[in-house]
Every structure is written in structure tokens, then in C-alpha cells.
Structure 1
Amino acid sequence: MKHTHPLPGDIGLTQISGITGRLIRLGQWINGDGFADYQHAFLVLPDDRLLEAQPGGARIQPLSAYDGSSVLYVCPEGLTEQQRTALCAAATAYVGVPYSFLDYLAIAAHRFHLPLPGLRRYVASTRHMICSQLVDQVYQDADIHLFADGRWPGYVTPMALYNQLAH
């Protein structure tokens, strides 16, 4: 479900400009998630705050950081207040979690069935996450599973979130 007024527990999807945004778009396209305009995901928290993964580590910041940006807010159909509360409670455990551009390569290696022993264990064990992995993990910690397609935990891009929730 998509909407314009964000509620705690919603997922914000937005663009990243410059070379970083272009590289993420390319990575998402290689991973089969499309070549569209959402390269970043974050989780809306109470009190007009958000949790997002950043190269310096996951952080909580004001939602106003995206004022003036084009943001699409999505969430699963029928998300309850109790689930939203659980999401926000789970989110705080991820402050400081390091970012990893290498996870885009790991996701691509999995997509192309490259024989890399230990790949799944590596992605799960590093505690490094890209923005969409962070959002998906918070949802899983709140016992809400966004994907039922058999994907490995952590194998999610911003466009995968868009494709799952915005249509």
C-alpha cells in the first residue's frame, strides 16, 4: 500500500543523486529489481524521526531531512498499530550497524547462481547492511515478513521493496 502521509512503521523510498545513486540503480538492475528511481529506503519512527542505513552506520535522524525530496511511503496492507509499535521498538537495536556496498555484489552473485560457498552465511554474519536490508530485518524482527518468495534473508534492494509494496 502506498500513501503520502507517513506513519511510524512505514517505509520511505527515495532517490539518491550523483554517482552513488547511479551505481545503486545499476546494482538493482543487475539484481533483477528494475531500473527505476528508488535507490534508498528508510523506516519511519514516532516523533517525526526515521532510521536509515548510511555509509557511516545506521542512524536515527529527523524525518525533515527529506523535506523537499520526492519520497514514496509504503507499507504492507493491514499493518496494525501493534505491529507498527513492534517495528519501532525493534528499530533502535540497529543504530550504528555498518553499511556495506559489497552486499549488492553478494545479492547479484546469488541471483546469478555463482558457486560461492558460504555466501549466505557471509551476508547473514557480517552485520553490515544496505538500507533495504536494514528495513527488511527490522520487519522480520517484528515478525512481519515482507517477502514470501523464498529469498534468503538480507537479499532485498530498495526496488524489491517498491515492487513488493507499491503496486
Structure 2
Amino acid sequence: MKHTNPMPGDIGLTQISGVTGRLIRLGQWLNGDGFADYQHAFLVLPDNRLLEAVPGGARIRSLSEYTGANALYVCPEGLTEQQRSAICDAATRYIGVPYSFLDYLAIATHRFHLPVPGLRRYIASTRHMICSQLVDQCYLDAGVHLFADGRWPGYVTPMALYKLLAH
């Protein structure tokens, strides 16, 4: 479900300009998500804050950072207040978690069924996360499974979130 007034537990999707945005678009294309308009995902927290994964490590910022940006807010239908609270509580455990562009390559490797022994274990063990993985993990920690398609935990791009929740 998409809407314009962000609430704690919502997922924000937005664009990233420049080289970084183009690299993420390429990574999403490799993963079958196309060259669409959303390259970044973040989690809305209480008190007009957000959690986002960035190259320097996951951080909490003011939601006002995205005022005026082309941000789309989405969440699963029927998300309860208790679930929203649990998702936001889970978010605090991930402050500082490193970011890794290599996760896009790992997701593409999995998508193309390339035989890389230990890939799933490696991705889980590094504790690196791209923005969409971080959001998905907070939901999983709260017991809310966004994807029912059998994908491995963490094999999520911003456009996968858009396709699932914004249509």
C-alpha cells in the first residue's frame, strides 16, 4: 500500500542522483528489477526520524532530510501498530552496520543461479547490508515477512520493495 503521510514502520523509497544512483540502477538491472526510479530504501521511525543504510554505515537521521525529494512511502496492507512498533524497535540494533555494494553482485549471482558454494552463508556472515536488505531485516526481526516467494533473506533491492508494495 502506498501513501503520502509517513508513519513509523513505513518504508520510504527514493531516488539517488549521480554516479551512485547509476551504479545502483545497474545493480538492480542485474537483479531483474530494471532501470526504475527508486534506488534507495529507508525505514521511517517515531519522532520524524529514519534509519538508512549508507556507505559509511547505517544511521538514524531526520525524516526532514527527504522533504521535497521524490519519496514514496509504502507498507504492507494490514500492518498493525504492534508490528510497526516491533519493526522500529528492531531498527536500533542495526545502527552502524556496514554497507556493501558487493551485495548487489551477490544478489545477481543468486538470480542467475551461478554455482558459488557458500554464497548464502557468506552474505549472512558479513553483516553488511544494502538499504533494502536493512529494511527487510527489520521487518523480519519483527516477525513480518514481506516476501513469500522463497527468496533468501537479504536478497532484496529497493525496486523489489516497490514492486511488492506500491502496486
TM-score interval for Structure 1 and Structure 2 normalised by the shorter chain: over 0.9
**Number of the residue aligned with 2:89:** 89
Structure 1 outlier segments of 4+, above 3 Å: none
Runs (5+) with no aligned partner, structure 2? none
**1:76-115 maps to which residues of 2 (within 5 A)?**
76-115=76-115
**Number of the residue aligned with 1:137:** 137
Deviation (angstroms), 1:33:
1.3
Aligned residues: 167
Using the alignment, how far apart are the partners of 2:150 and 2:92 within structure 1? 27
**Per-residue CA shift, 1:65-115, capped at 9, x if unaligned?**
111211000000000001001111111000000000000000000001111
**Number of the residue aligned with 2:47:** 47
Q: SS of the residue aligned with 1:133?
A: helix
**Number of the residue aligned with 1:67:** 67
Aligned residues with identical type, % of pairs: 84
Using the alignment, how far apart are the partners of 2:26 and 2:56 within structure 1? 22
Across the aligned residues of Structure 1 and Structure 2, the Cα RMSD in angstroms comes to: 0.5
Using the alignment, how far apart are the partners of 2:101 and 2:7 within structure 1? 28
**Number of the residue aligned with 1:17:** 17
Using the alignment, how far apart are the partners of 1:166 and 1:33 within structure 2? 14
Using the alignment, how far apart are the partners of 1:125 and 1:149 within structure 2? 23
Using the alignment, how far apart are the partners of 1:157 and 1:86 within structure 2? 22
Deviation (angstroms), 1:34:
2.1
Structure 1 counterpart of 2:118, one-letter code: G
